Chain A
Amino acid sequence: MAAAVLALCVVLVAAICVGAADLGWDRVLGELWAQVSGTTSPLDQREADILWQLRVPRVVLAGLVGAALAVAGAAYQGVFRNPLADPYLLGAAAGAGLGATVAVVLAPAARTWIIGPIPLAAFVGALAGVGLTWVLGRSASGAGTAILLLSGVAVAAFLTAVQTFVQQLDTNTIKQVYTWMLGGLNTSGWQDVLITLPYLVPSVIVLCLCARLLDVLALGDDEALSLGVRPGRVRLAVLGAASLATAAAVSVSGLIGFVGIVVPHLVRLLGGASYRVIVPLSLIGGGIFLVVADEIGRTVIAPAELPLGVITAFTGAPFFVLVLRRNRGKLR
C-alpha cells in the first residue's frame, strides 16, 4: 500500500513536469519550490498559467477519473461476482450519452451557471440510466444479479436507440456528441475537478467502508445472511456509490473504457483476492494508470493529442495479457 501511494506521488510529479508545452522539468520543479518557499520562480506568467491552469488540473482530473472508474469497476465485479463487469454495465454510459445528446439539442446557450450543460446532462443521464436498470431489475429478494445485468443490457440498448434517434432528428448534434463520447481531458480545468469532487469523495468513502462486506458477499448470499450481512442492502449501497462515481467521471471525461475492467484485475493478480485490498489499491492503481495514459497522450505527438481511449487500450491491453498469462492460476 505504501509502495502504491509512493508510486502515485512519483507519477503525479512526473506528469506535472512534462507536457505538450515545453516548460523544462527543472524549471517546473523550480516553480513548485518557489510556491513552497516563496522565492522567485523561473517561469514567466504565461508559463505559470499553462502549468497551474491547464497542466496541473488535467493531471489531477486524470487521477480522479482513473481512480473513480477503477474503484467502481472493482465494486461492480464484487457485486456481480463476474470478472467481466465494468462501470458502464448498468446503463451509465448509455444514459450519459443520451443526456449529452439531449443537452446539445436543447441547450440554449454554451454555458449555464458554472458548468456547461453537457457534463451536467451526462451526469443526470448516467444516474437515470442506472436508476432505471435498478428499478426494472429489482427482484423480490432485493436484487438478483442476473436479472439486474439483463435489465442493464436492455436499458442500455433502449437508451442508445433513443440517442441515435435524437441525433438523426438533428444532425448538428453529431459532431458535439461524438466529441464528448470519445473521451478526453484536453479541455479540463479546475472547474471540472471541483464539480466532480463532491460526488467522488463520498462514493469512494462508501466503497472503502463496504470493501469488507464485498468479501462476505463473495461467499454467497446464504453465507452472508448467516453472518448478519443483508446482501440486498450491501448491493444497493455499493452499486449506488459506484454508479455515482462513474457518473461523475463520465460527465467530465466522456467514455473512457478499459480502466474499470483492467485495473481491478491487475490488482487482483498482483495483490490478492480480498476486496479489502482490491478496493483501495484499485483506487490508487486507476489513478496511476490514467495519469500515465494521459501523459502519453499529451506528449507523444505534441503539440497534437492522441485520444485517451486509444492510449488506455493500446498500453493497457498488452500489459494485461502479459500479467494474465503469468498468473493464469489465480483467476477462477
Chain B
Amino acid sequence: MTRARPALPVVLLSLLALVGCAGREPAPATAPTSAAAGAQRIVSLSPASTETLFAIGAGAQVVAVDDQSTYPPNAPKTALSGLTPSAEAIAAYKPDLVVASADTGGLVGALGKLGIKAMVLPSANTLDEAYGQMSALGKETGHAPDADRLVGSIKTELAALAAATPKPATPLSYYHELSQDFYSVNSHTFVGQVYGLFGLVNVADSAPSSSGYPQLSAEALVKADPRLIFLADTKCCKQDAAAVAARPGWAAISAVKNGNVVALDDDVASRWGPRLLDFAKAVAAAVTKAAPGGR
C-alpha cells in the first residue's frame, strides 16, 4: 500500500493533463434575446422584481425565484438565496436572464462567464425609479406595453387615492417603524415618498441621516408625538398595536391613545413593485380614519 503512493501524484497529474482534451457536444445555440422575444427562462432573486414580472404578464417565463419572493403565491419559489447568491445553483435552472437587487459577491461577472445575462435592479429610492425598473423589466421580457400599462395605472390610481383622501389643515405627523429599535425612513426614501403623496409630515425628517434610514431615539419619538404610527415590523418582529402600547412611555403618544397604530405587511411596505398600491391604500385608509371628523 505504501509503495503504491509515489504513483499517486503521477496518476493525478495524468488525469489533469487529460482534462480539457475531452470532446464536447456543441452547446445549443440560444437565439440572442431580442426585446421583441424577450428572455424565456428568467430567474428572479429580487422579491420586488418577482412581483413586477408576474404583474406585467412575464410570469410564465419565470423558472425560479429566490426564497424571499413570497408573492405572488404561484411564483416558483426555490431555496435560491438573493442575499448570498450562488452562480452555480442559479445556472442549474438554465436561465437566459437573472434579475437581482445587488451584484453580491461578483454575481454578474460569474454569470457572465457562463454566458448568462444579469440585470441588477437595486432598491428604488424614488417612485420614478420604481417605475423605471418596471419599464426595464418589460423591455427585457418582451412585455414593454404591459409594463407601460402597469406604470400608467399605478400613477393614475395613486393620484386618485391622494385626491380622495382628506388633507387636514394641520398636516398629520407619522412615524414609520422598520424595526423594534426604532429604525425609520425619512421623506427622501421611496417609502417616505408614498406618505408624501398624502401630505403627511415625517417625524424622522429632523434626524440627520445619509442613508435615509435613521435610528430614532425613543425620547425624541415620544416627544414628537406622532398622530399616526405605521408598523413595517409586524412579520419579522411580531410587533402590533398592543406591543407598541406596552413600550415604556409610549402609551401617551397620540397615535397610541387614539388607536391610530397601523400594522402593515412588512413586504408590501418595503417592495418597490406593483403592490405599492396596496401600501398606499393602507396609508390612505389610516389617514382617512385619523383625520379630524374622519371614520
Contact = CB atoms under 8 A, between A and B. Distances in A.
Interface of A: 19-22, 45-47, 49-50, 53-55, 57-58, 107, 109-111, 171-172, 174-176, 179, 184, 186-191, 298, 301-305, 307
A50 B179 contact: no
Interface of B: 67-68, 81, 83, 179-182, 203-204, 206-209, 214-225, 233, 235-240, 243, 246-249, 252
A309 B69 CA distance: 33
Nearest to B221: A303
B252 A49 contact: yes
Nearest to A307: B215
A45 B252 contact: yes
B207 A53 contact: no
B135 to A, nearest CB: 29
B217 A302 contact: yes
B225 A46 contact: yes
A20 B248 contact: no
Summarize B's interface: helix, strand, loop or mixed.
loop
Given A304-B207, A305-B217, A187 B236 contact: no
A301 B207 contact: yes
Contacts of B220: 20-21, 302-303
Contacts of B233: 175
**List of 8 A-B pairs having minimum Cβ-Cβ separation, nearest first:** A189-B248, A303-B220, A20-B217, A304-B207, A21-B223, A53-B249, A21-B219, A20-B220
A293 to B, nearest CB: 15
B93 to A, nearest CB: 20
A172 B217 contact: no
Given A110-B240, A303-B206, A50 B235 contact: no
A277 to B, nearest CB: 36
Contacts, number: 110
A50 B249 contact: yes
Nearest to B179: A179
Query: Which of A22, A191, A304 gathers most chain B CB within 10 Å?
Result: A304
A273 B265 CA distance: 57
Given A50-B219, A303-B220, 19 more contacts: A21-B222, A46-B223, A47-B223, A50-B223, A57-B248, A58-B218, A107-B238, A110-B240, A175-B236, A176-B237, A186-B182, A190-B248, A301-B207, A303-B203, A303-B206, A303-B224, A304-B214, A305-B215, A305-B217
29 contacts: A21-B219, A22-B223, A45-B252, A49-B252, A50-B223, A50-B249, A54-B248, A54-B249, A55-B219, A110-B237, A110-B239, A110-B240, A111-B246, A171-B67, A171-B83, A174-B83, A186-B181, A186-B215, A187-B180, A187-B218, A187-B247, A188-B248, A189-B248, A189-B249, A191-B248, A303-B203, A303-B207, A303-B217, A305-B216
A46 B252 contact: yes
A172 B220 CA distance: 28
Query: Which of B68, B179, B221, B223 gathers most chain A CB within 10 Å?
Result: B223
Contacts of A171: 67-68, 81, 83
Query: Which of A45, A188, A302 gathers most chain B CB within 10 Å?
Result: A302
Contact of B215 (A50, A58, A107, A304): A304
Contacts of B222: 21, 46, 49-50, 54
A32 to B, nearest CB: 17
Contacts of B238: 107, 109-110
